Amino acid sequence: MNQITKIFAIGFLVFQSLVIFQLLPKQVNYESYAVEVILRIFFTVSKVNHAYDFFTSESDLKEYTYTSNKVVLYQLSGDSIDTHTISNEGSITYLVNPINRTRIAHLQNIATNDTLLYSAIVRSEAIHFLAEHPSYSVIGFDVLKHRCKAKIMDSQFVLETQVDTVFSNLFSMIE
């Protein structure tokens, strides 16, 4: 029993150290598909291949960025257009409990860094919100990237933000 736990502890900590100190190759071309699957399962269960560089990243070396959303539902009503804004203060994180806001914010961030994922996520969100508000037929998504800098004025930091629209899409359930 002791031997098994000792071997596990040493193996786990040594592997984790190698990952943290970047002593392992970032990508390996596996000769065998079976080996790739086995390793994938091993890493999924053990999570030993993860580095823990929270609040740090290559992009953060240059500037601090965050994303915000504007999600609006539209419906023709005679000559005018009815609108219903789903996002609040530039975010859909307000739709969920405060405990879960970070999870939605994280989703927004990863989606803007991956076009394919963004496309899938935005379409999924569009279907959800249109199904939730069946009286509206069109939904608009604007994703804004906020590039932030802190300038010092009178010995205090002052926030300077430059906002760019990175995605702007309209979706409809009408065929």
Partner 1 sequence: MKKQLQLFLREHLFYKIAYSNVANQFEYFRIGIALFSIFSFLSFWLDYDLLLVPDGIINWEVTNASAYWFEPHLLKVSEIIGLAPMTTLYLVSFLYLASLVLLALGLHTRLAAIVALLLFLTLSVNLSPFLYGVDLYQNVFLLFLCVFPSGYACSIRPLPITKAIQNSQQIGIRTIQLYLGLTYLSAGLGKAKMASWHNGEFLFLSISDPNYELFSFPDTLPAIFYASIGILVVTLELFYLLLVFLPYIRSFLVISIVGMHLFIVLFMGLVPFGVLLALVNIIAWYPLLKKDYSTLHQSIISKFPRLLATNYS
Cβ nearer to partner 1, comparing 29 with 57: 57
Q: Which token pair is 175?
A: 């065929």
Q: Which of residues 18-47 bind partner 1 (CB under 8 A)?
A: 20, 37, 40-41, 44-47
Cβ nearer to partner 1, comparing 22 with 80: 22
Nearest to 89 by CA among 102, 71, 74, 106: 71
Q: Which of 74, 75, 95, 133 binds partner 1 (CB under 8 A)?
A: 95
112 binds partner 1 (CB under 8 A): no
1 binds partner 1 (CB under 8 A): yes
Whole-angstrom Cα distance, residue 81 to residue 124?
24
Residue 51, amino acid: A
Q: Which helix (H) or strand (E) holds 106?
A: helix 101-112
Residue 88 CB, nearest approach to partner 1 (Å): 11
Whole-angstrom Cα distance, residue 109 to residue 91?
12
Q: Which of residues 155-174 bind partner 1 (CB under 8 A)?
A: 155-157, 159
Q: Which helix (H) or strand (E) holds 150?
A: strand 138-153
Residue 78 CB, nearest approach to partner 1 (Å): 31
Q: Which of 23, 26, 80, 99 binds partner 1 (CB under 8 A)?
A: 99
Tell me if 108 sits within 8 A of 95, measured CB to CB. Answer: no
Q: Which of 28, 39, 81, 127 binds partner 1 (CB under 8 A)?
A: 127
